[in-house]
Amino acid sequence: MKAVLLTATKKLEIRDVPAPAAPQGHDVPAPAAPQGHDVLLAVESVGVCGSDIHYYNDGRVGDQIITFPFAIGHECSATVLAVGGAVTRVKAGDRVAVEPAISCGQCDQCRAHRRHTCRKLLFLGCPGQLEGCLREQLVMPEENCFPLAARTTLDQGALVEPLSIAVYAAGLGAPRPGQSVAILGAGPIGLGVQLVLRQQGLDNIYVSEPLEYRRQLAKQLGARHTCNPFAGDLAAAWEPEEPLGFDIVYECCGQQLAIDDGLHLLKPGGTLVLVGIPTVNRISLAMDYARRKEITLRNVRRQNDCVEQALTLIENGQVPMHKLQTHTFPLERAAEAFNLVANYDDGVLKAMIRVR
């Protein structure tokens, strides 16, 4: 079968690779006979994520370092080709959204309902764990396969994964109606957080983003004010409207400047939610602001038990994630898709790759 492999930084190639093996190491080749609770999938649509771009540009995210060649990608939808004998959740022919994280269900984290920090977590497209989903076929446990309604497109199915992160991140801020919120970074996750907060009834949302076309979209999606963080002092720019500061700041770009801005923007007792993935392994905090204001810091690790909620929001039309999809490519043009996203070209926000 065909797969898109990262063979060096900023170099993708389509190669023939062996048929997929089951994630937990079954001896029987998966396409011949998926076993137990495993499901053989034909991958349909794959979203290009910011973490994929880290691997594409740098070959690593923190201490997770790629050994080339390696298949990346983790946001996907698929069609079920075959199921193991113990599978009851899906059947051949079903279209599904795929949750890319496989947890063991047995460790202390899983028992504490923290499956996203499982001690034995396996994640699609993560070095040392699982090859990614930019391939024609994939094997996943049935609990990672979420059936799509007939009205839900395969592209929307792939967008369930980033929306689930936005749902989780939004919830960590514990927002309440009437509170003031700032979102720093209007990429797919930042805009996803905005959409979730708007759906929850928050209307006092401010967005900072250096790219004008993304600021325009944030405004269209209901942001009260937008601002270019490089145009001047962000706190001073928004002070006339929010003189007391913000209750919650969602940092969604992984930049030191945004973290600094977040601490300045927050009112005493506010919450800074760190959603973005920095390109560096260390960041700094202005502890005088953080301590004197008694700021709460929350880190986001992907998502935890939010897939079904995200899927429902999309299926019911409550969160229009499809508005973030700006480009679509066939598998043969995957390299073009990655280069586009990596360079912020052509007004790109979310690029999707159609595998078949």
pLDDT, averaged per 10 consecutive residues of the chain (356 residues), comes to 97 94 52 84 97 95 94 97 97 98 98 98 97 97 97 98 98 97 98 98 97 98 97 94 97 96 97 94 91 97 98 96 97 98 97 96
Query: How far is the C-alpha of 160 from the C-alpha of 297, rounded, in Å?
Result: 26
> Are 119 and 112 in contact, with CB atoms under 8 Å apart?
no
**Residue closest to 215 by CA, chosen among 237, 187, 236:** 187
How many Cβ atoms sit within 10 Å of the Cβ of residue 27? Answer: 7
pLDDT of residue 30: 45
Query: How far is the C-alpha of 273 from the C-alpha of 288, rounded, in Å?
Result: 18
pLDDT of residue 68: 97
Residue with tokens 């928004």: 238
pLDDT of residue 289: 87
**How are beta strands 38-47 and 75-83 bridged, if at all?**
antiparallel
- Please state whether the peptide bond connecting residue 188 to the residue before it is cis, i.e. omega within 30 degrees of 0: no
Q: Which CATH superfamily is domain 164-299 in?
A: NAD(P)-binding Rossmann-like Domain (3.40.50.720)
Query: Which two structure tokens, joined as six digits, stand for 192?
Result: 């996803």
pLDDT of residue 27: 40
> Are 210 and 234 in contact, with CB atoms under 8 Å apart?
no
Kindly report the backbone phi and psi dihedral angles of residue 352, in degrees, each rounded to the nearest multiple of 5, phi listed first. Answer: -115, 145
Q: Which CATH superfamily is domain 2-147+320-354 in?
A: Medium-chain alcohol dehydrogenases, catalytic domain (3.90.180.10)
Global pTM value: 0.95
Buried b / exposed e over 68-91, threshold 16 CB at 10 Å, is ebbbbbbbbbbbbbbbbeebebbe
Where do the domains of the chain lie? 2-147+320-354, 164-299
> Are 100 and 144 in contact, with CB atoms under 8 Å apart?
yes
Residue with tokens 């602001």: 289
